[in-house]
Chain A
């Protein structure tokens, strides 16, 4: 083969793309779900009805005993105020993996009898750590850099025929041609979004790859302090019994004088201060501006805002990546773009395997690669739908219920990975793809009946809510899976 720029870039695109693509498929898929993390948490707590009373600041004080309890357990709790996305007051804390959340009536401050769940934040955590703490963060940041390399090489490969390729989609052409068309059509129109997400996402986790100290010092540091086997679960020291907090309504009112009316997002309780922070929905800059109050008498301690041009650039990148300031239209656009990104990785991986099947199809490495592809693509989606099934079917009184939901997800994913490797090892990969696609379709198809059967007060024809949207997306995934299983 002639050695040209395109062949060299083709090699880089294929190998770096496949190696990082399986991880990036999961990252993009979880990113899509994390875009609606609050809404998914509401789906996971069906006991909380879609509509509720309006917010009264006096209700905040009713949450304080529960805040004190969490502080006594060594947690750092915070209260999120009602917003357009979520009408409830929520008391949250981080359990070492996810933010666990309890809903409260926003007018009375009464705790709602909703099931304990990990909710949508499960996918948020999975998106950037893969539930493996700093190791997962580093791996995903590395995959982000690989994505930038893959995009660059892909653009160079397709530069000549970029526009003509874009207008071609031949689903009934030869299989390889059809998959190539899907790959190009899914990637090129959404290229600006994918570049933005790759750059801003890698930048947000830049400290893992590019620490401001030398690598030698970083590695020495790792060996000096033994790494924990489980991520970010520091020993929580029970805090001494704390004083009662001052009333929160005057604090909220004082904070709104600085941040603006309706601009408070959450109230964080620390031992030395109460932080009243600006809502992430206030604008494209994720400023995390906050006003700090004394936990003793509630007087203002300080107002913190980082105003330099570099910090503003960082806040813009964060804001564009998290997209918490956007309305539902933009949020769905992000979701669609993320789905297209995931399709780009999945189709790229399939093309990589198809091109090498004739020459290397019987090699063990090829069999492993195909097994991993089955598990990473179909298996991941299956585990995601299984998570929602677990949320509704696990007993409500189950001890450590949030962990159990996570374990169901991981068990289905691992099982799918093993089954994929097994079918691939037996030289029957198509069987593996088909069976798993069929399982995914079945789980997705029956999620709507499950939702209707296990949600209190559910009716078949209800107003568009988080429940309807989640069920419809699952149904769509099911139909696509059935069609793919049929055509494969």
Chain B
């Protein structure tokens, strides 16, 4: 969901025209997805991993909602 929110919000906060910003968001989303999954599974406590991934998801969602 974090990766999805990054792509969804990128036209609002990304650089240049909407097309460029979406591409930029997709570039980040593809890199973020495996990193977040590895963090979520790799931490000793599943709760901690979930919290880290959830926090990134929340930030990405807030960027969608709050960006002008």
Contacts and interface: CB of A to CB of B under 8 A. Distances in A.
Contacts of A8: 41-42
Nearest to A12: B41
Contact of A308 (B11, B17, B26, B44): B17
Interface of chain A, helix or strand or loop or mixed? helix
A156 to B, nearest CB: 7
B31 interface: yes
Contacts of A156: 38, 42
Interface of chain B, helix or strand or loop or mixed? helix
B42 to A, nearest CB: 6
B38 A152 contact: yes
B30 A203 contact: yes
Contact of B30 (A202, A211, A213): A202
A211 B5 CA distance: 10
Interface string A1-26: 00101001101100000000000000
A314 interface: yes
Contact of B7 (A3, A152, A212, A314): A212
B16 A149 contact: no
Contact of A210 (B7, B37, B42): B7
Interface in A209-252: 210-215
A195 to B, nearest CB: 10
Contact of A206 (B30, B37, B41): B30
B16 A310 contact: yes
A210 B41 contact: no
Interface string B19-34: 0111111110111011
Contacts of A313: 23, 27
A12 B25 CA distance: 26
Contacts of A214: 4, 8
Interface in B8-64: 8, 10-11, 15-18, 20-27, 29-31, 33-35, 37-38, 41-42, 44
Nearest to A311: B20
Contacts of A211: 7
B66 to A, nearest CB: 16
A215 B7 CA distance: 11
A212 B17 contact: no
Interface in A298-319: 308, 310-311, 313-314
Nearest to A200: B30
Contacts of A148: 30, 33-34
B26 A206 contact: yes
Interface residues of A, number: 29
Given A206-B29, A308-B17, A212 B22 contact: yes
Nearest to A16: B37
A187 interface: no
A210 B17 contact: no
A199 B30 contact: yes
A9 B41 contact: yes
A152 B34 CA distance: 8
Given A156-B42, A212-B22, A310-B16, A145 B7 contact: no
A112 to B, nearest CB: 41
Nearest to B35: A152
A212 B41 contact: no
A187 B59 CA distance: 35
B8 A212 contact: yes
Given A211-B7, A212-B10, A308-B17, A145 B33 contact: yes
A301 to B, nearest CB: 21
Nearest to A11: B41
Contacts of B34: 145, 148-149, 151-152
Given A145-B30, A203-B27, A314-B23, A210 B38 contact: no
A314 B21 CA distance: 12
Nearest to A151: B34
A206 B44 CA distance: 31
A151 B33 CA distance: 13
Contacts of A277: none
B48 to A, nearest CB: 12
A100 to B, nearest CB: 31
Contacts of B6: 210
A194 B23 CA distance: 22
A5 to B, nearest CB: 6
Given A12-B41, A156-B38, A311-B23, A210 B16 contact: no
Nearest to B26: A206
Closest 9 interchain pairs by CB?
A148-B34, A206-B26, A210-B7, A310-B20, A212-B22, A149-B34, A210-B29, A152-B38, A202-B30
